[in-house]
Amino acid sequence: MSDGRSGMPPIVAFIVAVAENGAIGYRGALPWHQRSDLKRFRKLTFGKPVIMGRATFASIGKPLDGRDNIVISRSPGFAPEGVIVCAAPAAALAVANEAAIARGSDEIMVIGGAQIYAHLLPMARRIYLTRIHASPEGDTFFPEPDPVDWSISRTEPLDQGPGDDWPATLIVFEHKSCSGNESKP
């Protein structure tokens, strides 16, 4: 998705589905199934570099097509086919930045998990947050964006479609350090 930033370096954007209790995972998997959100995830990330942790990659099971898959892992010998493995978040960002520029993408998408979000939060400038209207059991959580640093640029109620466990709302947050002259998604 272009946001009017032509010629600007790509920004770091998070994409995450979060339950009302903050849960984003349970026992290495999503604690829900939201088919419509998976379609939105594909649309928002396709053609862009995606950064994820090793556990998130394992939960997906394969590289995501149409995207540069960058996995952060310090595990020696971890080298799955079709991904670029980086030992540190800074290295992953450097690789993703080059990939985004090569693709003409305006965003680097961070797709999880919790530790990767925590490491990269200081660099994030946008969060695509799907609020799942339920509070399932969870063991992995995402913090609520702090209103001191983040403002809501868009809220969109999402219809509960076939294959969706619960209703949801898409909330797009913009970091307040971003210029007010940029177009919003």
Query: For 118-137, what is the mean pLDDT?
Result: 97
- Determine the pLDDT at residue 91: 98
Model confidence at 181: pLDDT above 60: no
In a domain, 126, yes or no: yes
Residue type, 12: V
- Determine the pLDDT at residue 132: 98
Model confidence at 94: pLDDT above 50: yes
Q: Any residues with CB less than 8 A from the CB of 147 and at least 6 apart, and which?
A: none
Model confidence at 1: pLDDT above 70: no
In a domain, 1, yes or no: no
In a domain, 76, yes or no: yes
Model confidence at 185: pLDDT above 60: no
Kindly report the pTM of this predicted structure: 0.91
Query: For 86-102, what is the mean pLDDT?
Result: 97
In a domain, 180, yes or no: no
Determine what percent of the chain falls in helix, strand and coil, rounding each to the nearest 5: 25, 35, 45
Query: Which range marks the domain in which residue 28 is found?
Result: 11-175
- Determine the pLDDT at residue 169: 98
In a domain, 66, yes or no: yes
The CB density around residue 14, as the number of other CB atoms within 10 Å, is 23
CATH code of the domain containing 132: 3.40.430.10
Q: Any residues with CB less than 8 A from the CB of 143 and at least 6 apart, and which?
A: 22
Query: For 156-160, what is the mean pLDDT?
Result: 91
In a domain, 85, yes or no: yes
Model confidence at 2: pLDDT above 50: no
pLDDT per residue over 9-50, tens digit each? 999 999 999 999 999 999 999 999 999 999 999 999 999 999
pLDDT per residue over 41-85, tens digit each? 999 999 999 999 999 999 999 999 999 999 999 998 899 999 999
Domain count for the chain, please give it: 1
In a domain, 61, yes or no: yes
In a domain, 3, yes or no: no
Element (H or E) spanning 51, and its range?
strand 49-53
Helices (H), the chain: 35-45, 54-60, 89-103, 114-120
Q: CA-to-CA distance for 125 and 13, rounded, in angstroms?
A: 6
- Determine the pLDDT at residue 68: 98
